[in-house]
Chains A and B, each alone.
Chain A
Amino acid sequence: MKSKRNKLIYNLVTFGLVIAAYLVLSYMVQNKLISRSLRGQLIPICSWIVMAVSLNLVVGISGELCLGHAGFMSIGAFSGILISGYLLNAFQFENAELRLLIAIVFGGIMAGILGVLIGIPVLRLRGDYLAIVTLAFGEIIKNVMNCIYVSVEGRHLNFSFINNEIEGVRLLNGPNGAVAVKTISTFTAGFLLILFTLIVVLNLINSHTGRAIMAIRDNRIAAESMGVPVTRYKMIAFVTSAVLAGMAGALYGLNMATLVPTKFSFNESINVLVFVVLGGIGNTLGSIISATALTILPEKLRFLQSYRMLVYAVVLIVVMLLTNNALVKSFVSNLTARLRKNQYKEGLSA
């Protein structure tokens, strides 16, 4: 029963850290103890955390390499902006909190629908072929979003594809994306979204479904012969991840006054993947920490000016080389073994 207790402790630590971080940060924001630049980063950090945790579900738990996660974020962001703008313009729906909630749910649903549509063909493939098809879908989404024009006229939505001559108040403007968005995202909403994501993901991992998904990851053939329906469980992981990414997208999109479709490019998908890998594949708490650290790091490196991204790249390579170095690995494992031994001795003498 020890492993069950360990899992409980792990989950409690994860939730505890997130809640504590939220309380401390919101206290600091209220008393103006943190810099303006960091304050502006709080909501994006929340979205990147949700992105990293949701991608971890696919990459770490389901074991499929997905290189198009930003595509789901894009769908979530633009559908969130769309519905929020529509409610505001057509119905004078002023309540920002409720509108944000609707936008996040709607963004999640749209990304989820897309996740199902993409998942059906994608999950038939394996390994690197699966990765390249998710990359292709991400690029297609970016390209198609570049061609969509939507405007609102009274209570009427005008859609247009490629042709940009439409009447009314523009909500989505092709390659120019969404302009003059009323920003309604709040840090509290971001925090609640992280909590929701954690509840969904941690419960999924520790459930019957999660164990089935991990069994498929570890040995697909064995799992299949034990009667686990492979495609269904992979689909559950993939679509859950897409929904959460869509929600993160809506939160992110409604925090920006302007947002262009090319923002959600292959590079963003890769960035999220970097969060997941550096945080430890399959480790939810690790994803949260690395998403936070790696979003703040480039900002903190601003004093290096043009060397900033260079240093970031070097840090990335060095960390990957060190964490996979046999010497470093054996040193760390020796150290932890020695610590455990000491604890054990103390336990005996007590």
Chain B
Amino acid sequence: MVFLSNLVNGISLGSIYAIIALGYTMVYGIAKMLNFAHGDIIMVGAYIAYCAAQYWGFPPILSLVVAMAVCTILGITIEKLAYKPLRQATSLAVLITAIGMSYLLQNLALLIWGANPKVFPAMIGVDTLTLFSGQLAIRGATIVTIVANIIIMIVLTLFTSRTKLGKAMRCVSEDRGAAELMGINVNTTISLTFAIGSCLAAVAGLLLCSSYPMLMPTTGSMPGIKAFTAAVFGGIGSIPGAMIGGILLGVIEILGKAYISTELGDAIVFAVLIIVLLVRPTGLLGKPMREKV
């Protein structure tokens, strides 16, 4: 039973990683850049939801919608201001700009909300589920996280495979030049990708803080790095890869902390990542790299 409860917690944490990893992987697939500011958008989303619920007294759903809207606008603004002028620049220049953006968001949050950690209110009103005559208790937040992940996965898969915009996104990530020749508006598509990624980041922020209710300006950075790892783990650029990578990473982290060593939890996660990349250099579901001579 303890194992089962750990497993469920792992899947829940992994679902959060997966939702964040989707943002990383989509942006990477389409813009070929590592968006280091993504983790901090999660933090902004969580703060907005916190404010909406705590100060303005919004109900949870409305707080979530507000957070999603603010993050979407933030994501598009960042893309337009900081990343778009660097389309032709080297990837390192874009990387450094993304890092600068990450510092900027963290320090803005520090100025607005202060350094003291805020206790995130319980937003998810789902009751704890008890199974096997009380031996296994699953918290409401855990259930909602897993369900939200499944819904997002289905919607996103349908979006990228069925709709015109989704197909355009896949097309741009495949070959930007050819997509442009086919009449796809590349700039709009990239903005759309940032919008979706940032919107998902807000959802992830709320779910993360519902499970781990400490909110600080640096809350987003470690989950951000882990989710980025998850995206690479599953094969960066691949949407199902991000899902699988995220969930596996969460399960490994929780089980590693429970059964091997609490102190070494992070080390175990990263060690597994390294081993996977050595066996499959482009991640679990990544396409093998082809080289032309």
Residues on A close to B: CB < 8 A?
Answer: 59, 65, 121, 124-126, 128-129, 131-133, 135-137, 139-140, 143-144, 146-147, 162, 221, 266, 270, 273-274, 277-278, 281, 306-307, 309-310, 312-314, 316-317, 320-321, 323-326
Contacts and interface: CB of A to CB of B under 8 A. Distances in A.
Given A65-B92, A129-B232, A278-B96, A147 B225 contact: no
Contacts of A128: 28, 34, 232, 236
B77 interface: no
B229 A320 contact: no
B103 A316 contact: yes
Contact-residue size bin, chain B (C-beta under 8 Å from the other chain): 35 or more
A325 B86 CA distance: 8
Interface in B245-293: 261, 263-264, 266-267, 270-271, 273-274, 277-278, 281-283, 289, 291, 293
A132 B21 CA distance: 14
A106 B225 CA distance: 32
Contacts, number: 123
Contact of B82 (A131, A146, A317): A317
B274 A147 contact: no
Contact of B271 (A59, A65, A140, A146): A140
Contact of B85 (A126, A278, A307, A324): A324
B107 A139 contact: no
A273 B228 CA distance: 18
A310 B282 CA distance: 36
B263 A162 contact: yes
A320 B274 contact: no
A317 B228 CA distance: 22
Given A132-B232, A266-B225, A140 B96 contact: no
A324 B93 contact: yes
A139 B273 CA distance: 12
Given A59-B92, A124-B281, A309-B103, A136 B97 contact: no
Contact of B111 (A59, A135, A162, A307): A307
B264 A143 contact: yes
Nearest to A122: B274
B119 interface: no
B82 A321 contact: yes
A309 B100 CA distance: 10
A38 B80 CA distance: 39
B96 A126 contact: no
A133 B271 CA distance: 9
A126 to B, nearest CB: 7
B97 A143 contact: no
B104 interface: yes
Contacts of A323: 93
Contacts of B100: 313-314, 316-317, 320
A136 B92 contact: no
B99 interface: yes
A277 B92 contact: yes
Contacts of B34: 128, 131
A324 B291 CA distance: 28
Can you list the 8 inter-chain pairs with the closest CB atoms, starting with the nearest? A316-B100, A313-B103, A136-B270, A313-B104, A143-B267, A324-B89, A317-B100, A310-B107
Interface string B26-64: 001000001000000000000000000000000000000
Given A313-B107, A324-B86, A126 B281 contact: yes
B110 interface: yes
Given A131-B34, A314-B104, 18 more contacts: A126-B281, A128-B34, A128-B232, A129-B282, A132-B273, A132-B277, A135-B225, A137-B274, A139-B266, A143-B263, A147-B261, A162-B263, A162-B264, A277-B96, A310-B111, A313-B103, A321-B82, A324-B85
A146 B263 contact: yes
Contacts of B228: 132
Interface of B: 28, 34, 82, 85-86, 88-90, 92-93, 95-97, 99-101, 103-104, 106-108, 110-111, 225, 228-229, 232, 236, 261, 263-264, 266-267, 270-271, 273-274, 277-278, 281-283, 289, 291, 293
A223 to B, nearest CB: 12
A321 B289 contact: no
A2 to B, nearest CB: 27
Contacts of B271: 136, 140
A125 B283 CA distance: 11
Given A277-B96, A321-B85, A323-B93, A144 B270 contact: no
A216 to B, nearest CB: 14
A128 B213 CA distance: 33
Contact of B92 (A139, A266, A281, A312): A281
Nearest to A281: B92
A16 B217 CA distance: 44
Nearest to B286: A129
Tell me which of B88, B110, B267, B282 has the highest count of chain A C-beta atoms within 10 A of its own C-beta.
Answer: B267
Contacts of B97: 316-317, 320-321
Contact of A317 (B104, B281, B291): B104
A144 B92 contact: no
Contacts of A137: 270, 274
Contact of B274 (A121, A143, A307, A312): A121
B108 A133 contact: no
A341 B60 CA distance: 68
A320 B86 contact: yes
B93 A133 contact: no
Contacts of B289: 126
Nearest to A322: B85
Nearest to A318: B100
